[in-house]
Amino acid sequence: MTIEYLKNKNLILLECISGSKAYGLDTPQSDTDIKGVFILPKAHFYGLHYIPQISNNSNDIVYYELGRFMQLLALNNPNILELLNTPKLSILYKHPILKKIQTETILSKLCKNTFGKFALSQIKKAKGLKKKIVNPVEKERKSVLAFCYVNYENGSMPVLKWLALHGWKQENCGLTNIPHMKNIYGLYHNADIPYKGIIKHVHSNDIALSSIPKGEKQVGLLYFNKDGYSSYCKDYREYWDWVEKRNEVRYENTQSHGKNYDSKNMMHTFRLLEMAIEIAREQKINVHRKDREFLLNIKAGKFEYKELMKMAEEKQADMEAAFAVSNLPEKPTVQLIDNLTFELRAALYNVRLEK
């Protein structure tokens, strides 16, 4: 099923411009995101072909099936609450039956977690980007050998340096386990014995063990920092996955303001925290932002990272205090939303005959 199919069959119930243009935070470089709600044809809903969501390849156009939309409303999902409360100027189409869904009957103190925790996840993203920018990982991947050390005099020496010192090749070395000594191995060397080497090949993810002939003299102890190697592999994979998938416009913006954090994610942190405070105090969703100038200054990188962290902590404290005295219920009444979902679907299917 495609977006074109939904439109050709008149299955769209809600279609809105979302994201920065709905928030009033768009700039000339901003894309146009579309979100909406659709209803499945009867045959799909009652059969084996339930589809909760349909989107385009770039995921900037997303439609939620009515059941999924209502389910997420019951969870006080931020994206879905924003979609329901899209400003009139950003609504492209809204079926009259959706007037039956009243935000006031859905909002609850769950928003402290859904908006607040999501905001804090944005801080983690900003920190993650800061880490990646400040600590880039070299494209040439390190081998296991870079994490191996040999005892030398009263200390230790990287095995690569130790091999160079002796003029030896790692391929002519053999290793054996030493009982009760984790990640420490007996090290042997003999160019005339077919040892397996410290590693079998450059892409090995572990050391190699060899059979050692009787009488061979151990030349040292080798320690493999296995945890360090595992951590490096994780960082390497995450960094180069990020490089491959990163949004170049956002990355260049981050580089240009020189603050070494993802300023767009940071902007949304403050937007979400402020929206959460408004929900607690006003019991409504204000999608279009009155604090546009402040938020765009964050996006432009006009604040230092530590300054933003301090302000975010203050906002979080304000949010906690606002929810502590709020008259909102602890959770939405799920039965009410369930009954409303049935009522909406029954009414829509009564006038829709497509299969």
Same domain, 23 and 83: yes
Q: Work out the average pLDDT over 231-251.
A: 71
Instruction: Report how far Cα 168 is from the mean position of its chain's Cα atoms.
Output: 46
DSSP 182: T
Instruction: Report how far Cα 124 is from the mean position of its chain's Cα atoms.
Output: 9
Q: Is residue 236 situated within a structural domain?
A: no
Same domain, 202 and 275: no
Same domain, 182 and 49: no
Residue 215 is part of which domain span? 144-230
Q: Is residue 46 situated within a structural domain?
A: yes
Q: Is residue 235 situated within a structural domain?
A: no
Q: Work out the average pLDDT over 242-271.
A: 64
**pLDDT tens readout for residues 176-213:** 999 999 999 999 999 999 999 999 998 999 999 999 99
Please tell me the predicted confidence (pLDDT) of residue 250: 47
Please tell me the predicted confidence (pLDDT) of residue 95: 96
Q: Work out the average pLDDT over 289-297.
A: 94
Same domain, 159 and 296: no
Q: Work out the average pLDDT over 232-243.
A: 82
Six token digits for residue 6: 């939904």
Distance CA 111, CA 118 (A): 10
Q: Is residue 243 situated within a structural domain?
A: no
Same domain, 92 and 151: no
The Cα-based distances of 152 to 166, 185, 220, 329 in angstroms read 12, 14, 8, 67
Same domain, 75 and 94: yes
Strand 61-65 to 33-38 pairing: parallel
- Number of domains within the chain: 3
Q: Is residue 240 situated within a structural domain?
A: no
Same domain, 154 and 220: yes
Q: Is residue 269 situated within a structural domain?
A: yes
**pLDDT tens readout for residues 3-34:** 999 999 999 999 999 999 999 998 888 889 99
Please tell me the predicted confidence (pLDDT) of residue 239: 76
Q: Work out the average pLDDT over 150-164.
A: 96
Same domain, 122 and 91: no
Please tell me the predicted confidence (pLDDT) of residue 252: 47
Q: How confident is the model at residue 309 (pLDDT cuts 50, 70, 90)?
A: confident
Give 139 or 233, the one with higher predicted confidence: 233
Count of beta carbons in the 10 Å neighbourhood of residue 22: 23
**Closest of 204, 194, 191 to residue 147, by C-alpha:** 204
CATH code of 29's domain: 3.30.460
Chain mean pLDDT for the chain: 88
Six token digits for residue 212: 């050692």
**Closest of 276, 288, 294 to residue 17, by C-alpha:** 288
Strand 91-94 to 155-158 pairing: unpaired
Same domain, 208 and 162: yes
Distance CA 250, CA 353 (A): 46
Give 71 or 140, the one with higher predicted confidence: 71
Q: Which residues contact 8 (CB under 8 A, 6 or more apart)?
A: none
Same domain, 87 and 12: yes
The residue assigned the tokens 């902007």 is 267
| Percentage above 70 pLDDT, the chain | 89
Q: How confident is the model at residue 136 (pLDDT cuts 50, 70, 90)?
A: low
**pLDDT tens readout for residues 260-287:** 567 788 888 899 999 999 999 999 999 9
DSSP per residue, 81-123: HHHHT--GGGEEEE-GGGGG--GGGT--TTHHHHHHHHHHHHH
**pLDDT tens readout for residues 159-182:** 999 999 999 999 999 999 999 999
Please tell me the predicted confidence (pLDDT) of residue 238: 81
**pLDDT tens readout for residues 66-85:** 999 999 999 999 999 999 99
**Closest of 13, 7, 10 to residue 91, by C-alpha:** 13
Last residue of a domain, one of 230, 261, 296: 230
Six token digits for residue 127: 């920190």
Q: Is residue 238 situated within a structural domain?
A: no
Q: Is residue 314 situated within a structural domain?
A: yes
Three-state helix/strand/coil letters over 149-162: EEEECCEEEEHHHH
Rg (CA), the chain: 29
Please tell me the predicted confidence (pLDDT) of residue 43: 86
Same domain, 211 and 187: yes
